[in-house]
Amino acid sequence: MAATALSRFADGGEPAADPSPLKLTQETRLGLKPGDARDYRKFGGFYLLADEKGIYALTTTCTHRGCTVHLEGDGTFGCPCHDSSYDHQGRVIEGPAKLPLRHFEVRESEPGGPLVVDTSKTVPPEVRL
């Protein structure tokens, strides 16, 4: 499955038959605190994060040549291919990458309900839920 393919899962669950954006449980949403980062690489190629302004999702794909970035212990992201690094908001700290990590759309499936992350939709980096 390509990183941009859309599939529906409950947290840690199996994909359903009909493709749609990844839906996360209410428990996931309530557990996110500023500074947190959750790894959803195997479910759709993104990290789910939170800061003081809200919740957002970042691609796992390095903007230099497309390797998968890894979450570091200090909350930054590092690329193992050519050592680019990005901060918690996806901004470049160190190249060779020149562009920030893409932000994906995060929305509520219903008001106050579970989250939906759509890796087919890029949003401006300042957007938070």
What residues line the site for ligand FES (CB under 6 A)? Answer: 62, 64-67, 79, 81-82, 84, 96-97
Length of the chain: 129
**Helix, coil or strand: residue 31:** helix
Question: Which CB atom, from 37 or from 67, has the smaller least distance to ligand FES?
Answer: 67
CA angle 90–51–112, rounded 5-degree value: 115
CA angle 39–63–29, rounded 5-degree value: 25
- On whether the CB atoms of residues 8 and 44 are closer than 8 A, the answer is no
Q: Give the span between the Cα atoms of 84 and 112, in whole angstroms.
A: 37
Question: Which CB atom, from 48 or from 97, has the smaller least distance to ligand FES?
Answer: 97
Question: Which CB atom, from 83 or from 108, has the smaller least distance to ligand FES?
Answer: 83
Min CB(4)–ligand FES separation in Å: 17
Q: Which helix (H) or strand (E) holds 55?
A: strand 54-59
Min CB(69)–ligand FES separation in Å: 7
Question: Which CB atom, from 32 or from 97, has the smaller least distance to ligand FES?
Answer: 97
Min CB(68)–ligand FES separation in Å: 9
Min CB(101)–ligand FES separation in Å: 10
